[in-house]
Structure 1
């Protein structure tokens, strides 16, 4: 029996990992995919033509960045389900509108017209009965100090140059967003409750929780 069967995780499941910058989404994505023999869907950063410009001028590039992410994540979401599932996804399409676009609108770094255009497009593309949603969304969370330390440790220059107030606000917005998220089942996972490097068995505890969420979802449908 493989680990997916052991923990009642269907081979066609799509599991999405969400959380603020530095929470460890990519690391957990890769670990779960390897353990379950699933494919990965990683956030595309290197080929993003707006990211560096955005960090230098939020107001000028926030709308362009969000439209780029929306298009890329929409295509990727369709690809995963057309392939037949069996994916672990790094970051969700829902965070873009629920956190990032709204934050820039609230702070004045995205105009009202641009924000309205973006949200209308998001709703038309994503918030329909025909758009496939994940079986489980895992939200990685921890203290603000833990998150800031992880951002510092990974050393990306554009993140190091970003004012700490930006990360503090993003942290608070993630908390608000996940507390009201109801599109699919949510597994809230504290980053201090597992250690993939020094406690490999902690990964199986995560898989057990994923299986429980999927089973509960199926029971509700029945």
Structure 2
């Protein structure tokens, strides 16, 4: 579990479509920094220290696991991505977006690139007013007074006006979903993604216990003999595990991520079992399926067969090394058929054939972005 820090950021703009500038910055911060918990009203003020168009300013509360020194670099990159061009001058200038760190938990930081609390925040009403709106009782770590009192004692008498327009708060994954099931073919990366998301979003993680199944190695050497006991044991174990873990979801409203869904059992059974065996299996499956909580989002990772075989070889499980491309294609066809027939299942298919989300953070963030928007 990653340690989460609460930070307060000030955003300002006086060029172009100012509301869009602020909203786009909020979206970027939600994607690259952390969950945006609160957004103040939008405040309009005259330019500070120079003659120019009025500014729109807001403050936001963000929960993040990024260290302060890395956070400032991330925010500078966001400004650049949004089109800000810094000028070689110490004077105040127009800017389409400006993002400052006001508070970082209750830390006091003095470094070459960052000073926290922001050294000028106590003198600026356009900073303190929106900050007091969302954090009135938070203590300034140096003055040891609340932000509300800091605003009351501020000597800045500039006019500040709340505008009517409201900005949208991006809903974080942990609020949007209670249960996400991640599926995919053998070697698609579902367990890797489930592990990564669990760490990032502090979720309860439910991983398939395939390593404990004694029939699995035997199945790959003699499929006809061991298919039925393998599929029945998997079905029983998946049902038991999901029943236990998702029952707690109902009690405590935890955020759960699993690297499988119970319907996986039927997909594999269709491929491996003989007709009479499958009929018996289907009766048992239908009874269990009715009792299992359905995921809020079902994510299917599509990986082409060539990459699947590469991944299977790379992870080196001895009993998987003789898996054939035809078998993987049958599994994919089973998933494809399942997805196409599930009218009431919120499904997201993500093609991961040409990306490496384990080793490339930008690929992982692309997946998270798709899940947020699903």
Q: Structure 1 length as normaliser, TM-score?
A: 0.82
Paired position in structure 1 for 2:265:
96
Query: Are 1:144 and 1:171, in contact at CA under 8 Å, matched by a contact in 2?
Result: no
Q: In the alignment, is residue 131 of structure 1 matched against residue 296 of structure 2? A: no
Paired position in structure 1 for 2:40:
none
Classify the secondary structure of the residue corresponding to 2:292.
coil
Query: Are 1:4 and 1:10, in contact at CA under 8 Å, matched by a contact in 2?
Result: no
Classify the secondary structure of the residue corresponding to 1:152.
helix
Classify the secondary structure of the residue corresponding to 1:23.
coil
Structure 1: 5+ residue runs without aligned partners? 105-109, 214-222
Q: How many angstroms does 1:7 deviate by? A: 4.2
**Mapped partners of 2:36, 2:248: distance in 1:** 18
Query: Are 1:50 and 1:64, in contact at CA under 8 Å, matched by a contact in 2?
Result: yes
Tell me which of 148, 152, 157 is aligned to 2:313. Answer: 152
Classify the secondary structure of the residue corresponding to 2:299.
strand
Cα deviation code 1:93-146 (max 9, x no counterpart): 11110x211112xxxxx23332111101111111x2x53111111100022212
Classify the secondary structure of the residue corresponding to 1:121.
helix
Classify the secondary structure of the residue corresponding to 1:172.
helix
Moved more, 48-57 or 144-153: 144-153
Q: In the alignment, is residue 120 of structure 1 matched against residue 273 of structure 2? A: no
Tell me which of 330, 343, 356 is aligned to 1:182. Answer: 343
Structure 2: 5+ residue runs without aligned partners? 1-5, 7-33, 38-169
Q: How many angstroms does 1:193 deviate by? A: 5.9
**Mapped partners of 2:283, 2:240: distance in 1:** 18
* CA radius of gyration, larger in: 2
Paired position in structure 2 for 1:51:
216
Q: Superposition RMSD on alpha carbons, in Å?
A: 2.3
1:154–1:65 distance in 2 versus 1, CA, 3 Å: same
Question: What is the 5 A alignment of 1:166-177?
Answer: 166-177=327-338
Q: How many angstroms does 1:41 deviate by? A: 0.8
Cα deviation code 1:33-84 (max 9, x no counterpart): 0011002111112210211111111111111111111111111211222222
Query: Are 1:4 and 1:36, in contact at CA under 8 Å, matched by a contact in 2?
Result: no
**Mapped partners of 2:268, 2:330: distance in 1:** 10
Paired position in structure 1 for 2:173:
9
Q: How many angstroms does 1:197 deviate by? A: 4.1
Greater per-residue helix proportion: 1
**Mapped partners of 2:171, 2:305: distance in 1:** 32
Greater per-residue strand proportion: 2
**Mapped partners of 2:271, 2:343: distance in 1:** 20
Paired position in structure 2 for 1:195:
356
Q: In the alignment, is residue 65 of structure 1 matched against residue 65 of structure 2? A: no
**Mapped partners of 1:43, 1:156: distance in 2:** 16
Classify the secondary structure of the residue corresponding to 2:348.
strand
Paired position in structure 1 for 2:124:
none
Q: How many angstroms does 1:203 deviate by? A: 3.0
Tell me which of 303, 322, 335 is aligned to 1:161. Answer: 322
Query: Are 2:239 and 2:292, in contact at CA under 8 Å, matched by a contact in 1?
Result: no
